[in-house]
Amino acid sequence: MTKFIFVTGGVLSSLGKGLAAASCGALLESRGYKVAVQKLDPYINVDPGTMSPFQHGEVFVTDDGAETDLDLGHYERFTNMTATQGHNWTTGRIYQKVINKERRGDYLGKTVQVIPHITDEIKNSIKKIAGDDIDIVIVEIGGTVGDIESLPFLEAIRQLKLELPVGDAVNLHLTYVPYLQAARELKSKPTQHSVKELRSIGIQPDIILCRCEKHLPEELRAKIALFCSVPVEAVKIAIDVNNIYKVPISFADQEVDTLVCKLLGLPHQRRKMEKWEYLSSIIDGPMSEVNIGVVGKYVDYPDSYKSISEALTHAGFHHKAKVKVHWIESSRFEKGENLEELDVVDGILIPGGFGIRGVRGMVEVVQTARTRGIPFFGICLGMQVACIEFARNAAGMESANSSEFDDEAPFNIFYKLRELVDIDEMGGTMRLGAFDCQLEDGSFAHKAYGKSFISERHRHRYEFNIGFKDQMAEAGLKFTGMSPDGLFVEIVELENHPWFLGCQFHPEFKSKPFECHPLFRDFVGASLAHRQTRDKVGAEETAREELV
């Protein structure tokens, strides 16, 4: 029978519940258990697809086309699970389902209430993740204990633990132990209040995970245990680390998974942490350095590009290189100004985004990368602006644009998806989820993947207008990735360039620390080569000047 771990958070947000849940999943997988991780979000939006990246961060897309919370990216990166629509539920989606049932008459005229109807729907969403092929379901409750909007979810897990056989569920509470510089001591009072709030709604934590900047003294752990009614060995530490992929090792050193197995009555199978230890040795070992400029619209809030930054980090692990990301607001380049900021980068990446703001600056950046031979990687919007720049400056279409930015442009090389094909089954005006792609032999993409047929995740509204393909190809743009039916352009590349590739899909969603995405791997590899060449040229010029 499937066991459950319910992860809650207290004191303040952004403590790292997602990483804690993912790390627990990684440890339990290392013991041979099949794990699934689920996120329950208390906001009323049906999904984060319409939420501002500045407020919510990136939207993580699953194979089945669900727009989900960015924590699902952590779950996939730390474990072997493949997330689906069922792994992320919001208040809005739960209420929408209950209201639809009420309208159909499913409740037979009963008064529909938070308890039991909303809480029952939440419990059903959790139970659907369980099954014969899943040993442990880890359920993360978004928000902070004490928030009014998260109460139905907390009530649901309270009920579910009572309904399950004794020993089939564990409550893990992540809280904050601040260090007061003036007093030079760690303070446990916020944790005590957080646990008191949790207990007031009927949930007693079995494990308390204390997020802190410094190690907890034993006397403070004992104090927390006493006032929160848990054994001392159940008070664990989530201390700051220099890389998130060292969190599983930190938890393993404290035997967090051993305690979980004990509480759930699971056999203590031997933990196999070799791959995590190897990764830690790379992080702490000697590394070369490469500078990647990420030129985007939402760079003031890096969580908007969380999977991008993680995929770059994974590629760095592969090359044993530290990837230093330079977050650059694209609007800085709109008048062809400030392009000297790109002199310090070894590669340029333009990620996805919506709307016209900053696009003119991106076009200037693409031209710089194309003409200077700087490795370039364009993703979704990045591919679109790469095509627009090439059409304007190399293919004789000076007014080329996308209908997203200018409906009246004489050369609209990108059109809204609905204008090209009937996509009712794809979800409104978006192409969402996994779609297949055929690669051209000998291309950058084909060399990276090592195969001719791939599947990648999409999230976009605008497609390349196939009517301009021949004209662009004659000018030197290579269309090296196409949908199997030949209707959609998936990948474009440039001839006679060190590495220049744009893709319509989002490869960052499928990158993992032990299996970096091949496109990110080769992009970072090309950027390292560009840096080495530039350093060599610089050294030669310096030597000549000294001789003179």
3-state secondary structure 495-540: CCCCCEEEECCCHHHHCECCECCHHHHHHHHHHHHHHHHHHHHHHH
pLDDT at 311 over 90: yes
Active-site annotation holder among 506, 516, 517, 530: 506
Is the pLDDT confidence value at 417 over 80?
no
Q: What's the rounded mean pLDDT across residues 459-475?
A: 94
Neighbour-count burial of 536, counting CB atoms closer than 10 A to its CB (0-12 exposed, 13-18 middle, 19+ buried): exposed
Higher pLDDT, 4 or 429: 4
Task: Considering the candidates 117, 210, 508, 516, report the single residue annotated as catalytic.
Answer: 508
- Range in 169-173, 260-264, 531-535 with the lowest mean pLDDT: 531-535
Domain ranges of the chain: 3-279, 287-533
Given the residues 212, 380, 437, 503, the one annotated as active site: 380
pLDDT confidence of residue 268: 84
CA angle 341, 345, 349 (to 5 degrees): 100
What is the arithmetic mean of pLDDT over 82-93?
96
CA 333 to CA 359: how far, in whole Å? 9
Percent of the chain with pLDDT over 70: 96
Q: Quick one: CA torsion of 8, 11, 15, 20, rounded to 10 degrees?
A: -30
Q: What is the mean pLDDT of residues 165-193?
A: 94
pLDDT at site 428: 53
List, as one string, the DSSP characters of 373-440: T--EEEETHHHHHHHHHHHHHTSS-TTEEETTT-TT-SEEEEEEHHHHS--GGG-TT-EEEEEEEEEP
| Whole-number pLDDT of residue 486 | 93
The C-alpha atoms of residue 120 and residue 152 are separated, in whole angstroms, by 10
Query: What are the residues whose beta carbons fall under 8 Å from the beta carbon of 110, sequence distance 6 or more?
Result: none
Helix ranges (DSSP H) in 142-203: 151-163, 189-200
pLDDT of residue 416: 84
- The terminus-to-terminus CA distance of the chain in angstroms comes to 79
Q: Which of 172, 43, 82 is nearest to 455 (CA)?
A: 82
Element (H, E) at 55: helix 53-56
Average pLDDT for residues 75-80, to the nearest whole number?
Answer: 97
For residues 317 and 104, what is the distance between their CA atoms, to the nearest angstrom?
53
The band of 288, judged by pLDDT with boundaries at 50, 70 and 90, is: very high
Which whole number is the average pLDDT over 499-523?
Answer: 97
Contacts 24+ apart (CB under 8 A), 54-59: 54/298, 54/300, 54/301, 54/304, 57/301, 57/303, 57/304, 57/306, 58/303, 58/304, 58/305, 58/306, 58/307, 58/308, 59/459
Distance, in Å, from the CA atom of 313 to the CA atom of 318, rounded to the nearest integer, reads 9
Nearest CA among 27, 513, 497 for reference residue 259: 27
| pLDDT score for 57 | 87
Are residues 489 and 360 in contact, defined by beta-carbon separation less than 8 angstroms?
A: no
Domain 3-279 shares a fold with domain 287-533? yes
Task: Please name the helix (run of DSSP H) or strand (run of DSSP E) that holds residue 449, with its range, or none.
Answer: helix 444-449
Q: For residues 459-467, give the mean pLDDT.
A: 92
Catalytic-residue membership of 506: yes
Please give the Cα distance from 211 to 16 (Å, whole number): 8
Assign 442 a pLDDT band (cuts: 50, 70, 90). very high
Tokens of 1: 């029978």
Contacts (Cβ under 8 Å, ≥6 apart) of 120: none
Q: How large is the average pLDDT for residues 341-358?
A: 92
What's the average model confidence in pLDDT over 479-502?
Answer: 96
Say what the pLDDT of residue 81 is: 96
3-state SS, residue 160: helix
Quote the percentage of the chain above a pLDDT of 90.
83
**Confidence category of residue 418, pLDDT binned at 50, 70, 90:** low
Check residue 548 and give its pLDDT. 63
Count of H-run helices and E-run strands, the chain: 18, 23
* pLDDT computed for residue 321 by the predictor: 97
Residue 426's pLDDT is: 40
CA distance 203 to 9: 12
Report domain 3-279's class: alpha beta
Q: Hey, what amino acid is at 314?
A: H
Rounded mean pLDDT, 428-448: 92
Amino acid making up residue 363: V
Q: What's the confidence (pLDDT) of residue 356?
A: 86
The answer to whether residue 508 is catalytic is yes
What average pLDDT does the structure give for the chain? Answer: 93
Confidence of residue 50 (pLDDT cuts 50, 70, 90): confident
List the one residue out of 36, 83, 45, 41 whose CA is nearest residue 64: 83
Mean pLDDT for 24-42 is 97
DSSP secondary structure code for residue 216 in this structure: P
SS3 153: helix
Q: What is the pLDDT of residue 137?
A: 98
Token pair for residue 354?
């919506």
Given a cut of 60, whether residue 544 has pLDDT beyond it is yes
With 0-12 / 13-18 / 19 or more C-beta atoms within 10 angstroms meaning exposed / middle / buried, residue 145 is buried
Mean pLDDT of 45-58: 86
Question: Is pTM, for the whole model, over 0.95?
Answer: no
pLDDT tops 70 at residue 423: no
**3-state class of 61 per DSSP?**
strand
- Looking at residue 501, its pLDDT comes to 98
**What kind of architecture, by CATH, is found in domain 287-533?**
3-Layer(aba) Sandwich (3.40)
Q: What would the mean pLDDT of 412-427 be, rounded to a whole number?
A: 61
- 149 classed as catalytic: no
Q: Which is nearest to 396 in space by CA: 480, 466, 468?
A: 468
pLDDT at residue 451 tops 60: yes
How much is the average pLDDT of 437-458? 97
